[in-house]
Structure 1
């Protein structure tokens, strides 16, 4: 893909979320109808097929993980946790099938999920060959402080959630969707993020600490991040997030995607710079869009050519001994027809000087040679930058 169309991705994402919720509802009802005949699933009697409201699950206090309450080898099926608080609890080798967490808090010492599965590949329908529906879990309006280790949270939906102090290690998060949420201190280590998507999600500290490689693909998508505070600290945090995302695309040889997030990174970084570096960054952006927008070179070249055309009209153009010059002393002689003809000569001269191909009828006056030399230098630089930018995009 040459460029990421963020509006199109958000539109497709909205449809995808609606379809996933609809699919989850259908599969949820199907499991309820067949709950006495579930192959390979042994529902936990305390939580499965129940609505658990306003319960504290775990231990009180801020404890280390070694002191957490542990729930292991349990299948928690079609449970709805509403206004519950999970704290100092470790789920190990558990399955969460069709579970919904609404207005829940994962607090105090946090919650640990180790070797847990949050998805069921549902293929009970006949014919089942090559046909699988994915029933994932959903989190709505939750505050989550958790660690996911060697787990499977694929096809999970996080909506209107605050995910803070999150660690995801060696976990399958493919096709996971995070929407209208906030991510802060979010650490990823060697995970599968293929098809992972965020929409309208605020991200201020999002880092990869891979020992090997977190996997991305072209379906992996991170929406643009809306600024809140618009201060230096936020700008620095935001461009670091974009930089981390861009580098991970690059590690996965997705260079076009890398370019898009690198561009966003540089645009945000510019806002955090001091005056002189900021001016340099603006110049880099105007000339070639940080090397990611080849058409910026064309616009810049056209602007330079037109600006210097006006400068030639002011400093003068010598055409076979006749000098064209526009200044306040001859303002009474100006007219539209003459100006169009003279501007055409100036434009012809400017194009020749910018491209370094020489002059035709007109030539600059003595005072105009300084302008000519400056335009030729700018032209050489812009043409070189433009060719380099286009070549880089084509090679990708």
Structure 2
């Protein structure tokens, strides 16, 4: 027997973008259903950097206060050229806007749980893998077909299902591009505590950028971003092989302190994956919504991780989307799911996110290109100019306020 459901708003994916968007909609009185393909909330993973733009969005969602007391902001960063063995210390001037908005490294699990706790218990439907999307000509409702046979009809569909988004494909958005680089990420655990200074530490080599970032006194987040290697695919599915590859091959000649951090890795947190990005031009000139369907997070703007903005911009999306949709649907103090109003709200959301998303994708890609090239002049620019003079200019791009949510609740 086929199960059928009807919802006002459906969000596909319970990652950062999906949960934050659900919280934003909940704040303005719009109920929604979140469909998550996994059998449990995917709280596995290492950590992510949250810049001031992310903290402003989390404050708007009324979630920031649950995280800031447990994560200290960074005041400095160090960048070491592996070829020149020269280290630069860079004060994080603009990024440390305040103790409340300062740059922090946060457990991904803690962020997801903080968001999920703000939703009514029945919001997230686990084990709901989307297989296809259907909308008949002239029909306003969208029908989602799940792999378990369930059919879900909805008035609004929001895809937060990652850079291989089925929703984005249905909308006709361009396919993400493989950057030719991959990222390894892990979380190192020190049960008795560590004595690592609380600062961002990065190492720059030929075709590689790596670093470690203390989260607290017991956990350190580390990463390697490098040109993809032919053996990568053979080890991606084995955390043990990933760790061994980093210590024995990738970081063999790197400073001892980096390898020591990797040696403390919790194997359950180790991941390796290729880095994708969407063409900025496709965002500037393409449609970011199709009728009553749109996307957010990596489904909208997959980008390389060189400027640490993937999760941050997903939080921005959540605020902007909830605001534009709720304002469009407000009629005489009540919410009315008029199809034209839905389209207008999603169109305004797309227009507000278009230029910013394209700019961040381009900046991330160019930043990664500069950091990974072996050419001497590029390395001189990177080592002497990029970090010494331009790092805090980057703050002007990422220090963004996604705005407030209207103080409106359903009658």
* TM-score under structure 2 length normalisation: 0.25
Higher relative contact order (CA 8 A, sep 6+): 2
- Structure of larger gyration radius: 1
